[in-house]
């Protein structure tokens, strides 16, 4: 069979989770919490099932949840959106990303993707017979080099993808970045896809700079997020997209034939949770900052060099004092011999860079972080 995606194998997240299980390792690889969603949310899900919320919900999402998303967008980012024409619930952010790309990117178009990038963007672009134009982030801080972005824009550029807080690096965009982006796109028809799934996990008192805050950008953007990160329920796969009516209308054309609708009971449960605990997400940054700081303190005695973590729930570590091998080799050795699974950075780059960085997830219970750090302390 001639593959449509010949370069694509199994994602590094599945590979590392399987290896972690096989070697009985502490799994700090794939990004998911090893603790439970709030009891109130779990109860609400059970109640939704018991109350008969078990048939197809509206394809665009349960109205009560879309209203809560619109409230949240107004409260957090000062943007008023119409839940009927601008908010769509999807099966995870992954589906929203795919639907947004499939709905707007055509064969021969170019999409600018920063490098490194989360892994689901480029295959979605290539399935449209479009081309991903990768623009390297600056080293070592992974900031966007807007001059290089400007140079990558061509008459074929249809979309530009940003992701803040950024996976895998943890870098965040600031207000000046958004102004530069708006300036570059002014007078072009380029659409923005802004992946903001870690929107509530920004540290050290900084505010997340949502594209939704920025009038000029919001008018041309798909703003995509997910409840998985915010409510510790990555397995529920409930995401959403906020976009102006013309973009939403196109996204929904794909969404209705991709999945039609999304798991109903979880939508009702999340709508109830957001209505009764509208402050929940405001505690998330402190919650994860405490985990970040605990994990960094636990790693302080290891030879690993810790990179700064402005946002998200991943710690990048530079292992060059320990081994001078590529990151795929190092991560395999670490899971097998030391019993800790992390994620190598090279799969997120267009071409394997000569870097010595591993991504460790700290969305874990204290016991897991301590167990991982104890094993890493054996490194010499």
**226, 230, 302, 368: which one binds ligand PMP (CB under 6 A):** 226
Residue 239 in the binding site for ligand GLN (CB under 6 A): no
Q: Site mask, ligand PMP, residues 189-218, x = CB under 6 A?
A: ------x-x---------------------
**68, 91, 167, 302: which one binds ligand GLN (CB under 6 A):** 167
**118, 240, 319, 348: which one binds ligand PMP (CB under 6 A):** 118
Of 23 and 166, the one with the shorter C-beta distance to ligand PMP is 166
Closest distance of CB 16 from ligand PMP, Å: 13
Closest distance of CB 30 from ligand GLN, Å: 5
Show the tokens assigned to 246: 């013309």
**27, 30, 88, 128: which one binds ligand GLN (CB under 6 A):** 30
Residue nearest to ligand GLN (CB): 31
Closest distance of CB 197 from ligand GLN, Å: 8
Residue 126 partner contact from ligand PMP, ligand GLN, none using kind-dependent CB cut-offs of 5 to 8 Å: none
Tell me, letter by letter, the H, E, C secondary structure of the chain: CCCCCCCCCCCHHHHHHHHHHHCCCEECCCCCCCCCCCHHHHHHHHHHHHCCCCCCCCCCCCHHHHHHHHHHHHHHHCCCCCCCCCEEEECHHHHHHHHHHHHHCCCCCEEEEEECCCCCHHHHHHCCCCEEEEEECCCCCCCCCHHHHHHHCCCCEEEEEEECCCCCCCCCCCHHHHHHHHHHHCCCCCEEEEECCCCCCECCCCCCCCHHHCHHHHCCEEEEEEHHHHCCCHHHCCEEEECCHHHHHHHHHHHHHHCCCCCHHHHHHHHHHHHHCCCHHHHHHHHHHHHHHHHHHHHCCCCCEECCCCECCEEEEECCCCCCCCHHHHHHHHHHHHCEECEECHHHCCCCCCCCEEEEECCCCHHHHHHHHHHHCCCC
Closest distance of CB 147 from ligand GLN, Å: 29
The count of chain residues that interact with ligand PMP, using the rule CB under 6 A, is 14
**27, 73, 167, 221: which one binds ligand PMP (CB under 6 A):** 167
Closest distance of CB 303 from ligand PMP, Å: 28
Residue 226 in the binding site for ligand GLN (CB under 6 A): no
Residue 310 in the binding site for ligand PMP (CB under 6 A): no
State the residues that interact with ligand PMP by CB under 6 A.
31, 92-94, 118, 163, 167, 195, 197, 226, 228, 234, 237, 239
State the residues that interact with ligand GLN by CB under 6 A.
11, 13, 30-31, 167
């Amino acid at each position: 069979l001639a593959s449509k995606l010949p370069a694509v194998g199994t994602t590094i997240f599945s590979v590392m989770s399987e290896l972690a299980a096989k070697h009985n390792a502490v799994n700090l690889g794939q990004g998911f919490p090893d603790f439970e969603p709030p009891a109130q949310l779990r109860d609400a899900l059970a109640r939704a099932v018991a109350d008969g919320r078990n048939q197809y919900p509206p394809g665009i999402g349960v109205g009560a949840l879309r209203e809560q998303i619109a409230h949240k967008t107004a409260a957090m980012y000062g943007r008023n959106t119409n839940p009927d024409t601008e908010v769509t619930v999807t099966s995870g952010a992954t589906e929203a990303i795919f639907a947004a790309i499939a709905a707007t990117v055509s064969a021969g178009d170019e999409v600018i993707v920063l490098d490194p990038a989360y892994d689901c963007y480029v295959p979605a672009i290539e399935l449209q017979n479009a081309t991903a134009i990768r623009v390297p982030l600056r080293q070592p801080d992974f900031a966007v080099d807007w001059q290089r972005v400007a140079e990558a824009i061509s008459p074929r550029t249809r979309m530009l993808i940003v992701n803040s807080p950024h996976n895998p690096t943890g870098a965040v965009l600031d207000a000046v970045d958004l102004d530069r982006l708006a300036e570059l796109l002014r007078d072009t028809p380029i659409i923005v896809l802004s992946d903001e799934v870690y929107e509530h996990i920004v540290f050290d008192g900084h505010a997340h700079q949502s594209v939704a805050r920025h009038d000029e950008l919001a008018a041309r953007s798909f703003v995509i997020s997910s409840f998985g990160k915010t409510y510790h329920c990555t397995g529920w796969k409930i995401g959403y997209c906020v976009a102006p009516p013309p973009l939403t209308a196109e996204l929904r054309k794909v969404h209705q034939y991709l999945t039609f609708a999304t798991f109903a009971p979880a939508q009702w449960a999340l709508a109830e949770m957001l209505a009764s605990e509208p402050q929940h997400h405001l505690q998330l940054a402190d919650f994860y900052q405490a985990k970040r700081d605990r994990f960094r303190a636990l790693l302080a005695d290891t030879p690993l060099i810790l990179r700064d973590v402005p946002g998200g729930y991943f710690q990048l570590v530079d292992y060059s004092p320990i081994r001078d091998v590529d990151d795929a080799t190092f991560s395999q050795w670490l899971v097998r011999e030391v019993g800790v699974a992390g994620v190598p950075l090279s799969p997120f780059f267009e071409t394997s860079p000569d870097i010595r960085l591993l991504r460790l997830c700290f969305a874990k219970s204290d016991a897991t972080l301590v167990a991982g750090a104890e094993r890493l302390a054996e490194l010499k």
